[in-house]
């Protein structure tokens, strides 16, 4: 019971610290918007509030009878490192007179260097207490991420009004993306919440009329009649209300002692989608308990072409699995060029590095075609990997196969000519799509060229070279008169999955038959 009490107190402490950092982020944007007119008194109050909570955390960790460092929680054990690192990067918190930070740097600095990390630790701690219902934790995770996005909305709005950019096309686009993400988190919370969680929400949550009017003006493309101070105040009212709710949600988790959890149905996706997902190798042969636990913490969402999932260096807060469509994994060079490392499709995991340990994303991910993705909070997925051997082995097998596939593409790009690379790419798509005479290019030609490590004009020349052998192309469609045209680009591994190998004189068929005869 003492251990449970320690976890409960830590959850509330972290919740207050996150709330203080969110307030400080918005307040600093307000102060920097017009430091000559704005008094520094209010932002100093916000910073002092945060520091008070940080001191309470240090004091509690020092005096606690439970050795919390022995919990082997990746995020929690990095907590001191995160907070010290943030203090090093924010010396202005101790002397606002020497505050030379650009207002545009405030949101990414506070968001990615401290707040997202603390949210991750909060969820990790909640998961560690086995007395908590995983479904309620997933709902809670969506709620605090919803609140965090409202916090970003507050800071972004202050910045927009301060810089006179609120009605610019770029700023409006970014703002609407943030609102869409909020709506997704809200919908996910309400779909996953238990009856008790929903009651807490319904009793405390009220709509903000001033904000509703502002959103209507945005939709009508009217210039909002607000200033930075008024914006800060009306959004802060909503965030304070959300803070009351998140504390009550923590109390609900903390004061439950029954292991007979309420059975909650995830209303975010259909039974047919669930069945499709369970056919993916990553989720095969799992027990009903593990499947239920995973699906209760998961979200399914449709993404438009061009949607960014994450950027390199951001905390790896979610693990994604592609249900349909294509996702591009890439790095950006210093000169702004994209180096595409993977193209992922149905059944593929978008982020692999955070399966077994907490980390930052080491590349960028963007949706290349309209797609549907399944996602899990990283901490929740890792929690199940640690509990279930089958899921852990499935994950290891997937990582091994993914690494092998990536290395094979590197080898192909290194040793084969551009025409050979294009020919083999088309052959693989031909086999995969199973159309008798047609290949539909799965994504843009510029992306294919990048995957094959060539320039777009080189890809076009290679296609022209193949046309001499009987291929024809129109936009994203390739017509093939005879499959034998592509057979010269085949290898033993590709031939094993080729549905046409028994219909033609396949040069690899003899080897395959020998292997089958002598297993």
pLDDT for residue 209 is more than 50: yes
**The two structure tokens encoding residue 62:** 């020092």
Q: What is the mean pLDDT of residues 205-209?
A: 84
pLDDT for residue 112 is more than 80: yes
Confidence of residue 259 (pLDDT cuts 50, 70, 90): very low
Q: What is the pLDDT of residues 75-94, one digit of tens each?
A: 566 788 889 899 999 988 88
Looking at the chain, the whole-number percentage of residues with pLDDT higher than 70 is 86
Contact 365, 353 (CB under 8 A): no
Distance CA 411, CA 62 (A): 53
Q: Which fold has domain 416-517?
A: Arc Repressor Mutant, subunit A (1.10.10)
Confidence of residue 258 (pLDDT cuts 50, 70, 90): very low
Per the prediction, the chain carries an average pLDDT of 83
Distance CA 395, CA 382 (A): 10
pLDDT at 4: 59
pLDDT at 433: 86
pLDDT for residue 195 is more than 60: yes
Of the candidates 110, 121, 204, the one whose C-alpha atom is nearest the C-alpha of residue 158 is 110
pLDDT at 345: 92
Confidence of residue 239 (pLDDT cuts 50, 70, 90): very high
pLDDT for residue 240 is more than 90: yes
pLDDT for residue 467 is more than 60: yes
Confidence of residue 352 (pLDDT cuts 50, 70, 90): low
Distance CA 431, CA 450 (A): 22
List Cβ<8 Å contacts ≥24 apart for 409-413.
409/451, 413/452, 413/453
What's the Cα-to-Cα distance from 382 to each of 55, 155, 316, 319, 447, rounded to whole Å? 30, 32, 12, 10, 32
Distance CA 477, CA 415 (A): 27
16 or 3: which carries more pLDDT confidence? 16
pLDDT for residue 458 is more than 70: yes
Domain locations in the chain? 2-254, 271-405, 416-517
pLDDT for residue 121 is more than 80: yes
Distance CA 515, CA 507 (A): 14
pLDDT for residue 246 is more than 50: yes
Q: What is the mean pLDDT of residues 193-209?
A: 90
Confidence of residue 147 (pLDDT cuts 50, 70, 90): very high
pLDDT at 271: 78
Distance CA 28, CA 35 (A): 10
**The two structure tokens encoding residue 495:** 């031939």
Confidence of residue 19 (pLDDT cuts 50, 70, 90): very high
pLDDT at 66: 56
Strands 438-440 and 308-310: unpaired
pLDDT for residue 27 is more than 90: yes
Q: What is the mean pLDDT of residues 91-116?
A: 85
Distance CA 28, CA 162 (A): 12
Q: What is the pLDDT of residues 378-396, one digit of tens each?
A: 888 888 888 899 999 999 9
36 or 444: which carries more pLDDT confidence? 444
Q: What is the mean pLDDT of residues 362-376?
A: 91
Q: What is the pLDDT of residues 44-71, one digit of tens each?
A: 899 999 999 999 998 888 876 655 555 5
pLDDT at 312: 83
CA trace torsion 393, 398, 399, 404 (10° rounding): 130
- Count of CB atoms within 10 A of residue 469's CB? 14
Backbone angles phi, psi at 481, to 5 degrees: -75, -35
Distance CA 334, CA 301 (A): 32
Backbone angles phi, psi at 309, to 5 degrees: -85, -45
Distance CA 432, CA 426 (A): 10
pLDDT for residue 165 is more than 50: yes
Q: What is the mean pLDDT of residues 112-138?
A: 83
Looking at the chain, the whole-number percentage of residues with pLDDT higher than 90 is 30
Q: 271-405: CATH homologous superfamily?
A: Jelly Rolls (2.60.120.10)
């Amino acid at each position: 019971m003492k251990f449970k009490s320690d976890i409960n107190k830590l959850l509330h402490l972290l919740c207050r610290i996150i709330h203080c950092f969110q307030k400080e982020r918005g307040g600093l944007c307000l102060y920097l918007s017009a430091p000559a007119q704005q008094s520094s008194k209010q932002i100093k109050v916000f910073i002092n509030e945060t520091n008070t909570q940080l001191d309470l955390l240090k004091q509690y960790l020092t005096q606690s009878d439970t050795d919390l460092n022995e919990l082997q929680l990746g995020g929690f054990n990095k907590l001191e490192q995160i907070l010290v690192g943030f203090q090093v990067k924010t010396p202005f918190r101790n002397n606002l007179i020497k505050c030379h930070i650009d207002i545009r740097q405030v949101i990414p600095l506070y968001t990615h260097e401290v707040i997202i990390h603390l949210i991750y630790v909060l969820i990790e701690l909640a998961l560690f207490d086995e007395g908590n219902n995983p479904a309620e934790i997933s709902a809670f995770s969506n709620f605090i991420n919803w609140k965090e996005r409202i916090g970003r909305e507050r800071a972004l709005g202050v910045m927009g009004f301060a810089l006179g950019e609120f009605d610019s096309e770029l700023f409006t686009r970014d703002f609407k993306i943030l609102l869409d993400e909020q709506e997704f988190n809200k919908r996910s919370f309400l779909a996953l919440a238990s009856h008790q969680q929903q009651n807490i929400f319904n009793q405390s949550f009220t709509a903000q009329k001033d904000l509703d009017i502002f959103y209507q003006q945005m939709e009508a493309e009217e210039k909002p009649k607000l200033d930075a101070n008024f914006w800060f105040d009306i959004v802060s009212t909503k965030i304070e209300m959300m803070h009351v709710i998140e504390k009550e949600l923590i109390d609900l988790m903390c004061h439950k002692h029954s292991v007979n959890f309420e059975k909650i149905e995830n209303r975010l996706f259909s039974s047919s989608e669930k069945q499709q997902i369970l056919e993916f190798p990553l989720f095969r042969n799992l027990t009903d308990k593990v499947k239920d636990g995973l699906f209760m913490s998961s979200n399914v969402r449709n993404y438009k072409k061009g949607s960014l999932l994450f950027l390199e260096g951001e905390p790896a807060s979610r693990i994604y699995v592609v249900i349909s469509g294509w996702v591009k994994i890439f790095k950006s060079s210093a000169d702004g060029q994209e180096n595409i490392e993977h193209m992922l499709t149905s059944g593929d995991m978008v982020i692999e590095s955070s399966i077994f340990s907490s980390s930052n994303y080491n590349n960028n991910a963007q949706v290349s075609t309209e797609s549907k993705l399944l996602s899990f909070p990283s901490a929740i997925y890792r929690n199940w990997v640690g509990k279930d051997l089958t899921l852990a082995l499935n994950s290891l097998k997937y990582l091994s196969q993914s690494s092998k596939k990536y290395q094979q593409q590197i080898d192909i790009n290194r040793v084969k000519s551009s025409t050979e690379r294009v020919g083999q790419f088309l052959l693989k798509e031909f086999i995969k799509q199973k159309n008798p005479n047609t290949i539909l290019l799965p994504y843009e030609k510029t992306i294919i060229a990048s995957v094959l490590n060539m320039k777009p004009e080189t890809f076009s020349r290679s296609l022209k070279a193949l046309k001499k052998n009987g291929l024809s192309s129109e936009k994203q469609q390739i017509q093939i008169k005879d499959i034998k045209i592509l057979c010269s680009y085949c290898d033993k591994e590709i031939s094993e999955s080729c549905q046409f190998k028994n219909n033609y004189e396949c040069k690899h068929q003899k080897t395959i038959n020998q292997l089958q005869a002598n297993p």
